[in-house]
Amino acid sequence: MTQAVATRDADAVVPSAPHAHDTNTGVSNNKLAIWMFIASESLFFGAFIATFFLYRGRDALYLKGPTPDELLNIPFTSVTSFVLLMSSLTMVLALAAIQRADHRRFRLWVLATAFFGLTFISAQVYEFTEFYREGLHLSTNLFGTTSYVLTGLHGAHVTVGIVWLLSLFGRSLQGRLGPEHSEAVEIGGLYWHFVDVVWIFIFTAVYLIPQH
């Protein structure tokens, strides 16, 4: 056993600690990449949320088509938000299971997460269909443009997340996802939780804040 002494002096350089990654930063490059991706995605979604707020209520002067008050079904979207929140719980339980090498539970939880995600997307498709039937198209008014783009982009991210989760499930079934690969699950989980966090703000901005 090699003993290495480390201090908390930020400028000091010491031999790597146990399981420190053999990288310039001492941290996993894959995790660094996903955190940088998440940081850039924060800016990406921030742009669309800011745009939504910028144009919110601007239609009052020259409104065409149905108003948000007529369209939004808050109880329905509250249920889908609850489903997405629960998917974060099942995702973190899947990670805990793979770290314990409990493959059976990992598959159960990761499949549950994908199922919740699929439920959320199905609900969004239903909601978009209802909006369209009510006469709200992408170019009908500013609310249609900003809300379709914002929630649609989020839905696209959820869809990517579902594919990612199912690929993890497939790898597990093939026996190619052991506890030593738990970082792969952790990275998928970080993406999924980020998608959940973004929805927290979209739900508040689009559905809960009074439109008048």
Partner 1 sequence: MTDTTGIETEEPGTAVAVADDDATGALVPADAAVEVHTDHSNHPSPRQYVLIAIVLVVLTAIEIAISYIDTEHTNLIIIALFAMGAAKFFLVAGWYMHMRLDQPFFRRIFVIGMIGAGIVYGIVILMFSSTVLKA
Q: Which parts of 23-42 interact with partner 1 (CB under 8 A)?
A: 25-27, 31-32, 35-36, 38-40, 42
**Distance of alpha carbon 100 from alpha carbon 125, whole angstroms:** 37
CB distance 66 to 135 below 8 Å: yes
Given 14, 101, 138, 156, the residue binding partner 1 (CB under 8 A): 14
Contact range with partner 1 by CB under 8 A, out of 12-20, 123-131, 151-159, 167-175 = 12-20
At closest approach, how far in Å is the CB of 61 from partner 1? 8
d(C-alpha 146, C-alpha 144), whole Å = 6
Work out whether the CA dihedral 135, 139, 140, 142 comes out positive or negative.
Answer: positive
Binding residues among 93-152 for partner 1 as defined by CB under 8 A: 93, 96, 99
Q: How many residues does the chain have?
A: 212
Task: Measure the CA–CA gap between 84 and 154, rounded to whole angstroms.
Answer: 12
Q: Work out which of 116, 119, 197, 206 binds partner 1, going by CB under 8 A.
A: 197
User: Based on CB atoms, which residue is closest to partner 1, 33 or 125?
Assistant: 33
> Is 178 among the residues that bind partner 1 (CB under 8 A)?
no
Q: Is the dihedral of CA 155, 81, 195, 89 positive or negative?
A: negative
Quote the least distance from Cβ 212 to partner 1, whole Å. Answer: 8
Rounded CA-CA distance 77/110 in Å is 23
Q: How far is the CB of 5 from partner 1 (least distance, A)?
A: 6
Nearest one of 152, 77, 165, 150 to 117, comparing CA atoms: 165
Q: Determine if 92 is a binding residue for partner 1 (CB under 8 A).
A: yes
Q: How far is the CB of 156 from partner 1 (least distance, A)?
A: 19
Q: Closest separation between CB of residue 11 and partner 1, Å?
A: 8
CB nearer to partner 1: pick between 38 and 135: 38
The yes or no reply on residue 153 touching partner 1 (CB under 8 A) is no
Q: Does 17 bind partner 1 (CB under 8 A)?
A: yes
Q: How far apart are CB 95 and partner 1 at their closest, in Å?
A: 8
| CB of 155 closer than 8 Å to CB of 121 | yes
**How far is residue 163's CA from residue 83's CA, in Å, rounded to a whole number?**
18
